[in-house]
Structures are given as structure tokens and as C-alpha cells.
Amino acid sequence: METKDLLEDNKIQEIIDLLRSDMSAEQMIEALDDYHENDIAEAYESLETEDRQRLFGILGAELLSEIFPYIEDVGEYLTEITPEQAADVLENMDADDAVDALEDIDDEEQREKLIELMDEDASADVRLINSYDEDEIGSMMTTNFIVIEEDFSVKQAMRSLISQSQDNDNINTIYVVDKEQKYCGAIELRDLILARADTPLADIISHSYPSVQADASISDSIEMLKDYAEDSIPVLNPNDEIIGVITAQDIIEAVDDEMGEDYAKLAGLTAEEDLNESLLESIKKRIPWLLLLLGLGLLTSSVIGIFEGVVASVAVVVVFQSLILDMAGNVGTQSLAVTIRVLMDEEISGVEKAKFVLKEMRVGGTNGLILGLLAFVFVAVYLHGFKAYVWYAAFSVSGIVGFSLFVAMIVSSFIGTIIPIFFHKIKVDPAVASGPLITTVNDLVAVVTYYGLAGLLLVGRL
Amino acid sequence: METKDLLEDNKIQEIIDLLRSDMSAEQMIEALDDYHENDIAEAYESLETEDRQRLFGILGAELLSEIFPYIEDVGEYLTEITPEQAADVLENMDADDAVDALEDIDDEEQREKLIELMDEDASADVRLINSYDEDEIGSMMTTNFIVIEEDFSVKQAMRSLISQSQDNDNINTIYVVDKEQKYCGAIELRDLILARADTPLADIISHSYPSVQADASISDSIEMLKDYAEDSIPVLNPNDEIIGVITAQDIIEAVDDEMGEDYAKLAGLTAEEDLNESLLESIKKRIPWLLLLLGLGLLTSSVIGIFEGVVASVAVVVVFQSLILDMAGNVGTQSLAVTIRVLMDEEISGVEKAKFVLKEMRVGGTNGLILGLLAFVFVAVYLHGFKAYVWYAAFSVSGIVGFSLFVAMIVSSFIGTIIPIFFHKIKVDPAVASGPLITTVNDLVAVVTYYGLAGLLLVGRL
């Protein structure tokens, strides 16, 4: 790996040197042809602002429009060139990339100005995509696609394809509309190329090619998009007209985002963070959950407060409180994580849900039995060996620890499953809402079981 | 959504009825043309074994080979038809799909038999892919790709493409090799179609098109594959010959798998689980971590045991133990989750790592200060209001709680960052190893701080 990273770094340095050199526009453009846009983008980001401003005149808007989509935070680079230049770059980009780039500019007014400076087609596309909520399919589509009519001949189709491909380079799948301009199927470019001139176009149209509504929710559609495993899927408006497409690259991004969100939420973050996050942003993303958890923790503490008498008379029970609460927490998290993925990945019926909850409880119960027995043995050995308890007393305490552990683990797997299912049912994101509630309920059940048993069975007897 | 799911269900039922009907082979194949393979696959799975066995004779190996890749657990369907029939289906599938399907068959001998029954080309492809470890790029590539020679004319290239496309349908990107059969670039099908007959092929070859080595690790390469955003990337052997390609669909799967694994590990599962997991498998995936955590929990308990005297004399401190440990755990998990994503997503230098650790501690410290102050106030109010403590005593206890919370949160964010970085450095998967270690260290630090302070400052004074 080390050598490879070095090679990689060398390549980027080569491009940087190239971009800084004073060769002619023509020479530079030809030299850049040997490098991938992704690498040029990385080099471009390493330059000084003045270098980049100078480069606009050399490379031109069209070439920059191919590089910019590979830059993650492109907003600052758009604002350091003139608005006219920026608009020129944006209108040469795919509409969805232009939308992403514009989103990077914080100043609403500046953004609006750039959209107005773009040519009519490009700004209309941007406005169309922007008209959808960020969790709707329409917000991630591109308007770069080819569409032909159902009654074309193979030759007409090929001609139409070639003329449209000047502006639209997603040509691997060609979409077909009927006389009323309604979407009716798709043709693989391969099939069109291989078709003889006299083949009826209908023979190569796949009428079963999937489509998606622009206002469908991304998280609801993502599994479908993955399952159909097509390289691009048409996006329809309510009249079934094609207004855009979702490409495989969009799906990669969406899968990455969705999973990243689930991951972040499981960790108690309100959103994913990256390396460049500012201190304030990081704090903002983390403190909401921590505040909530503090409040709930105080609630748990006040319940433990009820058992202060038990603690005062049998102090040894405190030693194992953290063990029981931690294990309940761990089991609850396992059940929660599995439940959330199941809810996201599959459509399950009420009966299946009931079966699933039951299964989780059986898993939790079996694991609880194993761990409870282990705790029963080891805690007794510890108390006898290190705390000089007689075996009877040691096993009395360890019996309560083991039994409480068992109960806590069954309850945790039940709570860890039923709470996300409940939130999913009432259309609240289960990944956000479940964690703190599960922890609290689990803690309370575990504490009441443990100290309750200890109070009943141990106080006055040890 | 409800109506849509209903429509979806109706469609699957239509296909089921169709597959069960006694229409002729020709009629059925034509009728199926109206449905997507993904939907046919779902219907196929709902049939009885006898129906499916009968269908082989009607649909034939080629059509089944298009449906089978959409079935998740295809092993059982391959074993219910004869081995000759199964091999026939497998050899018509893309090599990577065939490999996936074969992996679903548990019986090693049966698998080997099927590979031997496949035609020579197909079995060689399967053996090639199988020769790579499951975390190497080679294990997820397909051998379905088109390759042409550098010195071809546009016309020759087109002719070669058409002849190869009988067997290989990934034709959107065409790979180019030099005289020594070494990979030297790629051509987009679009550019080949739009090129005039007399254009030199060199003009449309992209020499900067990325490639990946077959023995590269998937988790190391996945970011690169995502970044280059190409629809398929060639896989090279050590001689730089193309032996396969990674498609966008493969990348979607890999991203999904990688993130799913990170997610599972964060939740304390050894691997992702789905709805159909058996009880025993679920237990197996969960119990390793639980056992480890139980052992570590016992260790923490034995440290708490040292403070039994403190507990016995100031029982009220126990009430807030869970609060401090839980918060330390939450902050540690946040830091761990952020660190793991940063380590996976970016190549960071030693200096950046140090900065990152420092930043995490500042985030943890700031949040700890806020929460510590809140705890200081609320715990005192609780003790005064509900436990009849005088204000001085209430604030003595709450001061220790608040301060311990603050210390625990700084330490947790440090430990939650440094431990995964350490494991990453020594090439141990940080997502697996970090969780339990962080929890234990955090618990120990929090317990020692809290009970230590309480012992020093409170015992004999309240």
C-alpha cells in the first residue's frame, strides 16, 4: 500500500506542476488528457486561489465542468471566480451535479444569482430538481438522458440518439415514450446497435423496465432501486412523463448516505461527520442526544434512589449493578440494530413482526441463560475468593446477579425490538427515537429487578 | 405507499399464475417478456418445488440464468433441479453471479461437482474468481467484458465489439490493450459510435481510465472505486492484463456490505443479520461479543468492589453511578463511530491524526462541561428536594457527580478515538476490537474518578 500511495501522490504532484506551468492553453489541455478528472480535481484543490482564477481562462468552463463534480466542497471554488464564469461552469455540468454544487454555496442570494445567470435550459433543470424535498427521488435525479418515440424505426432511433447525445451523455439506456409522451419502456444501447435496420423497434423495447415516481421517498425506494440492479432508472412525474433518471452512481451515493445515516444514528449522532467538521458543528451534532440521555439518566438515578436503603445495608450488590446494566444495554443495542435493518430492508407483515419479536426474545433469552449461568458461577467464586464470603452467602448474591442478568437480557431484547417497530408504525424514524428510550426502559427494568430481588432476599440475611 | 404495495403484490401474483398455467413454452416465454427478471424471481420463489422442476423444461437454462441472479438464497433452487440442469444455468450466468450462487450451496462436494459439469470457459472463470480471498477485489469481479487492441481502426473495433458482444453484454465501456496484451486504457461505447470511420482510435481512448489490481483489498479500494465514479473498472493481474471488471452494481453491493459490516460491528454483532436468520445463527453472531463483555464487566465489577467501603458509608453516591457510566459510554460510542468512518473514508497522516484526537477531546470536553454543569445543578436540586439533604451536602455530592461526569466525558472521547486509531495502525479491524475495550477503560476511569473523589471528599463528612 505504501508504494501505491506514493505513486498516487506523485501523480497528483505532476498535475499540480502542470497546472502551475506556463504552457499554452492547447498544450495544457492535451497534457491533462492523460489524467483522470478525479485526480485533476484533487490537484486543483491544492492550488492557490490566484492559480485557479488564472486557470479559468486557460481551461475554460467546459473542461472545469468535468472536474468540478469530483470536488467535494465545490462552493468555495465557485465563489472565487466571477459569477458569470461560475454560471458558465454550472450550466455545462449535469443538472444534479450543478444542484449539488449550488447547495455548497451558503449565501442564498448568491446562489439565486448564479441560477439566473445560467442559460434557460440549465436553470430550468436546476429549479426542477430543487423543487423536490431532499428525501424525494426527484432531488437526486439528473436530466441527462435520451428519449425516443415508440413508433420510430431502428434507423430513426439511432439518428435521434446521435443528435441528442451532443447534450446528453447517459446513452447506455434509451427511454421510450408513447404518442402521449408517457413512458412505456427502455432500450439497451447494445440491443439498438446489434439490431438490424428492419427489426421493429418494439422487439427490442423492454416494457418491464422499472421506473420510479419523482415524489417517492428515497429511503422507501432505495431497496427497489438496488434490487432491480439496472444502470439507470427513469423518474416520472404524475403524468408518467420522464423528467429525469437515477444513475447507478446516484444509487451508490444514496446507499452510502442511507447507511451512513443509520450508522450515525446508532452511535447517537444526529448526522454523519467527517474529518473537516468544525468543532461547533461536531458539538451541535452530538449534544442533542447527550442532553436527552442526561435527562433520562437522571430519571434512572432517581429510581435507583428508591433503593438507597438496600444499598446501605447490602453494599456488595452495587458492585454488580454496572455489569447488569451494561449487558442489558449491549443486548438492547444488538436487537435494535437488527430490527432497524430489517425494517429498512424489507416489507414485513404484522404476523412476521410478531414472529420476529418472538425470535429476538428467544435469542436474548438463550444468550441470557448462558451468561446468567456464567455470572452465577464466576460472581460466587469472586465473592468467596476475594471478599471472603461463605459459599452460601456468595451463591445467594450471585444467584440474584445471574437471575437479574437473565431477566434483563430477555426484557432488553423485547424492548429493543418492540420500540423501533412501534416508532416505524407511527412513522417516526426508529433509528433516531429508539436508542435513548430503549436504554432507559432497560435500565429501569434491570434496576428494579436487581435491587428489588436483593431487597426481598438479601436485606437482613447476609 | 399502501396502494403501490398492493399493485406490486398483484404483479407478482400475475406472474405466479402465469408460471403455474399450462400454456406452451413459447406462449409463456412471450408472456414473461412483460415482466422484469427481479419480479419473475420473486414469483419463482413462491412456487412449489414440483412447479419449479417442471418449469426448467419450459423456460430453459438461458432464461433461468437471467432470473437466478435476482434470487437471494439461490442454493436451494439449484439443488432441487438435476446437477446437469443446474450446471447449465450456472454456465449461462455472469461468472460473478455463478460464484455467488455456488457459494449458497453448503455441500462442498456438490459445489465441486457442479463446477466440473459446467463448460470449460465458465468453470475456469469460476475457479479464477474463487482463487481470490473474499476481501480481495478479484473475488467480486465479473469476466463479462469486451477488450480490443490499441492498433485497431474504428471499424475493426466496432466489428470486434459486435462479435464479442454475443457472450459479453457489459459493452458500455470497452477496454484497450497494447501489443503485449497489457491494459492501456478504455473507450466509452458512446465515443466509438459517434466516431467517424477515419478517426484514429487513439483519439477516443481514455488513457487515464482507472484500474484496480485483483489482489487489492476491497475495503482499501472501495473509496477509490466510489471516487472515480465510473460505471465499470478493469481488474488487472500482476502482469497488467485485464482479467475482469468491477461494475457499478458490484460497487453498490460492496458499499452496502462494507457499511453494513461497520454498522453491525458498532452494534456488537459479528456480522449483519437478516429476517430469515435461524435462531442458532443469530445466537452465534451475537454471543461472542456478549461473552467478552461479560468478562470485562466482571473486571469492572471487581474494581468497583474495591470501593465497597465508600458505598457502605455514603450509599447515595451509588444512585448516580449509572448516570456517569452511561454518559461515558455514550460519548465513547460517538467518538468511536466518527473515528471509524474517518479511518475508513480517508487516508490521514500522523499529524492529522493528532489533530483529530485533540479535536475529539475538545468536543468531548465542551459537551462534558455543559452536561457536568447541568448535572451539578439538577442533582443538587434532586437531593435537596427529594432526599432532604441540606444545600451544602447536596452540592457536595452533586459537585462530585458533575466533575466526574466532565472528566469521564473528556477521557471517553480520548479513549474512543485513540483506541481505534491504534488498532488501525497495527492492522487490526478497529470496528471489531475497539468497542469492548473502550467501554471497559471508560468504565474503569469513570468508576475510579467518581468513587475515588467520593471516598476522599465525602466519607465521614455527610
Q: Is B36 on the interface with A (CB under 8 A)?
A: yes
Chain B positions touching A226 (Cβ under 8 A) are: 252, 256
Pick from B249, B264, B322: CB nearest A297: B322
Closest CA to B297 of A160, A372, A314, A296: A372
Residue range A321-335: average pLDDT? 88
SS (H, E, C) chain A: CHHHHHHHHHHHHHHHHHHHCCCCHHHHHHHHCCCCHHHHHHHHHHCCHHHHHHHHHHHHHHHHHHHHHHCCCCHHHHHHCCHHHHHHHHHHCCHHHHHHHHHCCCCHHHHHHHHHHCCHHHHHHHHHHHCCCCCEHHHHCECCCEEEECCCCHHHHHHHHHHHCCCCCCCCEEEEECCCCCEEEEEEHHHHHHCCCCCCHHHHCECCCCCEECCCEHHHHHHHHHHHCCCEEEEECCCCCEEEEEEHHHHHHHHHHHHHHHHHHHCCCCCCCCCCCCHHHHHHHHHHHHHHHHHHHHHHHHHHHHCHHHHHHCHHHHHHHHHHHHHHHHHHHHHHHHHHHHHHHCCCCHHHHHHHHHHHHHHHHHHHHHHHHHHHHHHHHHHHHHCCCCHHHHHHHHHHHHHHHHHHHHHHHHHHHHHHHHHHHCCCCHHHHHHHHHHHHHHHHHHHHHHHHHHHHCCCCC
Chain B positions touching A387 (Cβ under 8 A) are: 305, 308
As separate numbers, helices (DSSP H) first and strands (DSSP E) second, chain B gives 19, 6
* Residue B138, in any domain of the structure: no
Q: Which residue, among B165, B190, B307, would best test binding to A if mutated, counting the most A CBs under 10 Å from its CB?
A: B190
Q: Using one digit for the tens of pLDDT, what is the confidence trace for A396-417? A: 999 999 999 999 999 999 999 9
CA B83 to chain centre: 32
Inter-chain touch A208–B259, beta carbons under 8 Å = no
Alpha carbon distance B118, B120 (integer Å):
6
Taken as a whole, chain A contains a residue count of 462
Chain B positions touching A325 (Cβ under 8 A) are: 322, 325-326
Closest CA to B224 of B238, B240, B213, B237: B213
Q: Using one digit for the tens of pLDDT, what is the confidence trace for B253-269? A: 888 888 888 888 888 77
Chain B positions touching A227 (Cβ under 8 A) are: 38, 70
Alpha carbon distance A358, A336 (integer Å):
14
Instruction: For residue A68, give every residue at least 6 positions away whose Cβ sits within 8 Å of its Cβ, in sequence order, or none.
Output: A41, A74, A77, A78, A89, A93, A97, A101
Domain boundary (A104, A131, A158) is at A131
Asked if residue B283 and residue B262 are part of one domain, the reply reads no
Closest CA to B243 of B188, B157, B182, B158: B182
Domain with residue B299: its CATH number is 1.10.357.20
Instruction: For residue A102, give every residue at least 6 positions away whose Cβ sits within 8 Å of its Cβ, in sequence order, or none.
Output: A90, A111, A114, A115, A126
- Higher-pLDDT residue of B220 and B3 is B220
Closest CA to A95 of A149, A39, A138: A138
Cell of B107: 455441500
Q: Is A226 on the interface with B (CB under 8 A)?
A: yes
Q: Quote the mean pLDDT of chain B.
A: 88
Domain with residue A212: its CATH number is 3.10.580.10
Provide the angle, in degrees to the nearest 10, between the axes of the packed helices B108-117 and B95-103.
150
Question: What domain range is A356 assigned to?
Answer: 279-457
* Residue B15, in any domain of the structure: yes
Q: Is B261 on the interface with A (CB under 8 A)?
A: no
Alpha carbon distance A334, A326 (integer Å):
12
Domain count, chain B: 3
Q: Is B443 on the interface with A (CB under 8 A)?
A: yes
Asked if residue B283 and residue B258 are part of one domain, the reply reads no
* Residue A42, in any domain of the structure: yes
Chain B positions touching A162 (Cβ under 8 A) are: 193-194
Alpha carbon distance A43, B226 (integer Å):
18
Pick from A194, A274, A359: CB nearest B165: A194
By C-alpha distance, the chain B residue nearest A303 is B319
Q: Using one digit for the tens of pLDDT, what is the confidence trace for A46-84? A: 999 999 999 998 999 999 999 999 998 898 899 999 999
* Cβ(A204)–Cβ(A176) below 8 Å: no
Q: Which residue, among A161, A318, A370, A444, would best test binding to B if mutated, counting the most B CBs under 10 Å from its CB?
A: A318
Instruction: For residue A157, give every residue at least 6 positions away whose Cβ sits within 8 Å of its Cβ, in sequence order, or none.
Output: A148, A174, A187, A192, A201
Q: How many CB pairs under 8 A join A and B?
A: 333
Pick from B227, B309, B370: CB nearest A38: B227
pLDDT of the residue at A318: 87
* Residue A347, in any domain of the structure: yes
Q: Which helix (H) or strand (E) holds B229?
A: none
Q: Using one digit for the tens of pLDDT, what is the confidence trace for A1-23? A: 444 556 677 888 999 999 999 88
Inter-chain touch A321–B321, beta carbons under 8 Å = yes
Q: Is A282 on the interface with B (CB under 8 A)?
A: yes
Alpha carbon distance A72, A89 (integer Å):
16
Inter-chain touch A252–B248, beta carbons under 8 Å = yes
> Judging by beta carbons within 10 Å of its beta carbon (0-12, 13-18, 19+), is residue A345 exposed, middle or buried?
middle
Alpha carbon distance B268, A457 (integer Å):
34
Q: Is A11 on the interface with B (CB under 8 A)?
A: no
Alpha carbon distance A443, A324 (integer Å):
9
How many C-beta atoms lie closer than 10 Å to residue B296's C-beta?
A: 19
pLDDT of the residue at B40: 94
Q: Is B281 on the interface with A (CB under 8 A)?
A: no
Alpha carbon distance A415, A336 (integer Å):
9
Alpha carbon distance B448, A234 (integer Å):
60
Q: Is B428 on the interface with A (CB under 8 A)?
A: no
The conformational region for residue B382 under phi > 0 = left, psi -120 to 50 = alpha, else beta, is alpha
How many C-beta atoms lie closer than 10 Å to residue B377's C-beta?
A: 12
Pick from B190, B220, B266: CB nearest A171: B190
Q: Is A334 on the interface with B (CB under 8 A)?
A: yes
The residue assigned the cell 446562489 is A111
Paired with B136 in beta bridges are B217
Chain A positions touching B290 (Cβ under 8 A) are: 327, 330-331, 367, 371
How many C-beta atoms lie closer than 10 Å to residue A278's C-beta?
A: 9
Strands A183-188 and A173-177, sheet pairing? antiparallel
Cell of A19: 497546472
Paired with B174 in beta bridges are B146, B187
In this model, does residue B271 exceed pLDDT 60?
Answer: yes
Inter-chain touch B255–A259, beta carbons under 8 Å = yes
Q: Using one digit for the tens of pLDDT, what is the confidence trace for B398-424? A: 999 999 999 999 999 999 999 999 988
Pick from A36, A165, A316: CB nearest B194: A165
Asked if residue A306 and residue A437 are part of one domain, the reply reads yes
In this model, does residue A306 exceed pLDDT 90?
Answer: no
Q: Is B347 on the interface with A (CB under 8 A)?
A: yes
Report the alpha-carbon angle A307-A308-A312, nearest 5.
120
pLDDT of the residue at A6: 60
* Cβ(A398)–Cβ(A383) below 8 Å: yes
Confidence at B304, pLDDT banded by 50, 70, 90: confident
Alpha carbon distance A78, A62 (integer Å):
14
* Cβ(A217)–Cβ(A258) below 8 Å: no
The residue assigned the cell 473514508 is B345
Instruction: Looking at the complex, report in whole angstroms how far the Cα of residue A359 sits from the nearest Cα belonging to chain B.
Output: 7
Q: Which residue, among B259, B360, B362, would best test binding to A if mutated, counting the most A CBs under 10 Å from its CB?
A: B259
* Residue B360, in any domain of the structure: yes
Least confident of A25-39, A369-383, B12-26, B347-361: B347-361
Domain boundary (B131, B163, B197) is at B131
Inter-chain touch A231–B249, beta carbons under 8 Å = yes
Asked if residue A51 and residue A114 are part of one domain, the reply reads yes
Residue range A305-328: average pLDDT? 86
* Cβ(A413)–Cβ(A331) below 8 Å: yes
Q: Is B359 on the interface with A (CB under 8 A)?
A: yes
Alpha carbon distance A323, B300 (integer Å):
8
| Residue A212 to residues A221, A244, B171, Cα–Cα distance (Å) | 8, 10, 25
Alpha carbon distance A180, A182 (integer Å):
5
Alpha carbon distance B311, A316 (integer Å):
8
pLDDT of the residue at B1: 41
Q: Quote the mean pLDDT of chain A.
A: 88
Handedness of CA A198, A201, A202, A205 (dihedral sign): positive
Asked if residue A401 and residue A305 are part of one domain, the reply reads yes
| Chain B contacts in chain A segment 172-191 (CB below 8 A) | 172, 189-190
- Higher-pLDDT residue of B276 and B40 is B40
Q: Is B426 on the interface with A (CB under 8 A)?
A: no
Instruction: Looking at the complex, report in whole angstroms how far the Cα of residue A298 sits from the nearest Cα belonging to chain B.
Output: 7
* Residue B141, in any domain of the structure: no
Strands of A212-213's sheet, edge to edge? A212-213, A232-236, A242-247
Alpha carbon distance B52, B13 (integer Å):
16
Q: Using one digit for the tens of pLDDT, what is the confidence trace for A143-198? A: 999 999 999 999 999 999 988 987 788 888 999 999 999 999 999 988 898 888 88
Asked if residue B100 and residue B54 are part of one domain, the reply reads yes
Domain boundary (A236, A266, A296) is at A266
| Chain B contacts in chain A segment 63-102 (CB below 8 A) | 69-70
* pLDDT above 90 as % of chain B: 49
Domain with residue B119: its CATH number is 1.25.60.10
For B446, phi then psi, to 5°, come to -65, -45
Inter-chain touch A294–B371, beta carbons under 8 Å = yes
Chain B positions touching A337 (Cβ under 8 A) are: 263-264, 266-269
By C-alpha distance, the chain A residue nearest B170 is A190
Residue range B151-170: average pLDDT? 89
Instruction: For residue A79, give every residue at least 6 positions away whose Cβ sits within 8 Å of its Cβ, in sequence order, or none.
Output: A86, A105, A110
Q: Which residue, among A73, A184, A326, A349, would best test binding to B if mutated, counting the most B CBs under 10 Å from its CB?
A: A326
Strands A242-247 and B242-247, sheet pairing? unpaired
Asked if residue B9 and residue B52 are part of one domain, the reply reads yes
Q: Is B164 on the interface with A (CB under 8 A)?
A: no
pLDDT of the residue at A7: 65
In this model, does residue B186 exceed pLDDT 90?
Answer: yes
Instruction: For residue B75, give every residue at least 6 positions away whose Cβ sits within 8 Å of its Cβ, in sequence order, or none.
Output: B101, B103, B104, B105, B106
Q: Using one digit for the tens of pLDDT, what is the confidence trace for B93-150? A: 999 999 999 998 988 899 999 999 999 999 999 999 999 998 899 999 999 999 999 9
Asked if residue B247 and residue B283 are part of one domain, the reply reads no
Q: Is A274 on the interface with B (CB under 8 A)?
A: yes
Asked if residue A163 and residue A312 are part of one domain, the reply reads no
Instruction: For residue B224, give every residue at least 6 positions away whose Cβ sits within 8 Å of its Cβ, in sequence order, or none.
Output: B210, B212
* Cβ(B127)–Cβ(B137) below 8 Å: no
* Residue B212, in any domain of the structure: yes
Pick from B165, B359, B370: CB nearest A287: B370
Q: Is A198 on the interface with B (CB under 8 A)?
A: no
How many C-beta atoms lie closer than 10 Å to residue A315's C-beta?
A: 19
Alpha carbon distance B31, B34 (integer Å):
6
Q: Is B357 on the interface with A (CB under 8 A)?
A: no
Report the alpha-carbon angle B174-B176-B182, nearest 5.
140
Instruction: Looking at the complex, report in whole angstroms how far the Cα of residue A293 sits from the nearest Cα belonging to chain B.
Output: 7
In this model, does residue A124 exceed pLDDT 70?
Answer: yes
Cell of B273: 443479520
Asked if residue B245 and residue B111 are part of one domain, the reply reads no
Asked if residue A260 and residue A157 are part of one domain, the reply reads yes
The conformational region for residue B349 under phi > 0 = left, psi -120 to 50 = alpha, else beta, is beta
Asked if residue B76 and residue B38 are part of one domain, the reply reads yes
* Residue B139, in any domain of the structure: no
Alpha carbon distance A254, B356 (integer Å):
27
| Residue A386 to residues A87, A320, B69, B445, Cα–Cα distance (Å) | 75, 14, 60, 22
